[in-house]
Amino acid sequence: KAEVDMNKGVAERESHLWNAMHKHDPDAKKMVAVSGEGSWFKDEEGNAYLDGVSGLWCLNVGYGRQEIVDAAAEQMKKLSYFPLTMNHQPAIQLANKISELLGAAYQTFFSNSGSEANETAFKIARQYHMQTGNPGKYKFISRYRAYHGSTMGAMSATAQANRRVKYDPSAPGFLHVAPPYSYRSLYSGTPEEKDLRAADELEEMIQWEGEETVAAVIMEPFISGGGVIIPSMKYIQRVADICQKYHVLLIMDEVVAGFGRTGKMFGFKHAAGVQPDIVTMAKGLTSGYLPLAATAVKAEIYEAFKTEGKDNHLRHVSTYGGHPAACAVGLKNIEIIENENIVNRVNELGESKLIELHDLMNHDNVGEVRQVGFLLGLEMVADKVTKEPLSDAKMGEIVGRCKQKGLIIGKNGDTVPGGNNILIIAPPLTSTEEDLDFIIETVSSVIHSM
């Protein structure tokens, strides 16, 4: 039996932990995190790192918030667990709060992860159509580059071949269409014109497939992990109109964008007049303090699940979904976001500070800097004219050098045919001005030293 060798230096120690998304590298030194405060965490050796991707876009209010810890502990003492086949107060309060924040009446089903929130949305969408006389509407459309989760349905909606090929066949009925990615669009015109052509393609797909077969479109308002794609808001409005026209539900994946990251409480709120049929959320809902996800469904859609005396209820359950402590944490987290005016803060500091990263556009290897609030993508290229992606080796070097200097930033996964060349920066929304300066200086100096 393999033993963890406690005599070895921690960094070299072999453990039994299976890390997510890591290529096996016997020489890699393990960094083991032990504590966090604000935007910073420390490893076992006492090194401090600024968490420039907020864990995985989770930590909206930063590490070490005592009031969140207290809220969880108090709830644990009061009612440690209760299933949502029945009711408990924190879940009701949080569902009501979510409805208020979304700006219309929504009914919320709680689960544990973004993937599960999306799975729930898919089942609700299919059942909704079945119960409203359209049982043939079963297909889902998502965009290339999108990441919607790791479970079979969410993986099938994830339109990145590298995340699927080893696990295929993925679920039937999931279709993929081009994203509004003006930097690499095949069309000509202004960015907005290019984005609108992507919406046209989506409409064409519905027409070719037959509107009577399409259940829903699932989209993030801003593709995050797939490379920080920031479309014209007219694109989102147009997709919402197309969905309405063909009686296709619009599922908005706010797992990353939700709870302030983009300078609005939800990303879709940037697109005036858009009110999605279903909104999925996780990560920022609790700032990662406890696992919790939500699938919020517009009241009009929920109506179809209420018919008296019929077997119209949702046959779907999640044992831990809406755990009382997680809901209490969600409520406290939202209270902090509101009381500390975090959404405005993201707008202001995004505009006055992080915007400085746009200066990097002058560098030969920076093709485009894309930003909305505290979500930034730097599209790195070997050549600005051909737009050839910067090599994996160089991308790894940039991320590695930032880490050496105490800054964790991300890059998109192996998603782009030909490269994964987009640096991702998404710090906690509570980052101080000094934290943001540190990010700007570190990223700038590393890129300029390449």
**Interface residue list for ligand PMP (CB under 6 A):** 56, 113-115, 118, 147-150, 220, 224-225, 253, 255-256, 282
- Nearer of residues 149 and 350 to ligand PMP, judged by Cβ: 149
- Nearer of residues 128 and 147 to ligand PMP, judged by Cβ: 147
- Nearer of residues 111 and 365 to ligand PMP, judged by Cβ: 111
Closest approach, Cβ 253 to ligand PMP, in A, equals 5
- Nearer of residues 56 and 304 to ligand PMP, judged by Cβ: 56
Closest approach, Cβ 114 to ligand PMP, in A, equals 2
Closest approach, Cβ 261 to ligand PMP, in A, equals 11
Distances (CA, A) of 303 to 19, 107, 131, 313, 314: 42, 10, 10, 10, 12
- Nearer of residues 125 and 381 to ligand PMP, judged by Cβ: 125
Q: 3-state SS of the chain: helix, strand, coil percent to 5?
A: 40, 15, 40
Residues 6+ apart with CB under 8 A from 444: 357, 359, 360
Closest approach, Cβ 113 to ligand PMP, in A, equals 3
Any idea which residue has 């479109």 for tokens? 217
Q: How far apart (Å, rounded) are the C-alpha atoms in residues 252 and 262?
A: 14
Contact by Cβ (8 Å): 296, 107 = yes
Reading the block at residue 76, the tokens are 């644990």
Closest approach, Cβ 244 to ligand PMP, in A, equals 23
Closest approach, Cβ 101 to ligand PMP, in A, equals 18
Q: How far apart (Å, rounded) are the C-alpha atoms in residues 306 and 303?
A: 5
- Nearer of residues 150 and 347 to ligand PMP, judged by Cβ: 150
- Nearer of residues 120 and 182 to ligand PMP, judged by Cβ: 120
Closest approach, Cβ 134 to ligand PMP, in A, equals 26
- Nearer of residues 149 and 367 to ligand PMP, judged by Cβ: 149
Closest approach, Cβ 315 to ligand PMP, in A, equals 22
Contact by Cβ (8 Å): 375, 222 = yes
Contact by Cβ (8 Å): 218, 141 = yes
- Nearer of residues 230 and 360 to ligand PMP, judged by Cβ: 230
Q: SS3 of 12, please?
A: helix
Any idea which residue has 């219309």 for tokens? 104
Closest approach, Cβ 348 to ligand PMP, in A, equals 25
Q: How far apart (Å, rounded) are the C-alpha atoms in residues 181 and 412?
A: 15
User: Please, what's the b/e burial string for 339-371 (b: 16 or more CB within 10 A of its CB; e: otherwise)?
Assistant: eeebbebbbebbeebbeebeebeebebbbbbbb
- Nearer of residues 278 and 381 to ligand PMP, judged by Cβ: 278
Residue nearest to ligand PMP (CB): 114
Q: How far apart (Å, rounded) are the C-alpha atoms in residues 265 and 99?
A: 12
Reading the block at residue 439, the tokens are 């990010």
Reading the block at residue 103, the tokens are 């700006």
- Nearer of residues 289 and 438 to ligand PMP, judged by Cβ: 289
Closest approach, Cβ 131 to ligand PMP, in A, equals 26
Nearest residue to 297 via CA among 168, 154, 131, 124: 124
Distances (CA, A) of 416 to 23, 165, 420, 443: 18, 14, 6, 22
Closest approach, Cβ 148 to ligand PMP, in A, equals 5
Q: SS3 of 407, please?
A: strand
Q: Peptide bond preceding 291: is omega within 30 degrees of 0, i.e. cis?
A: no
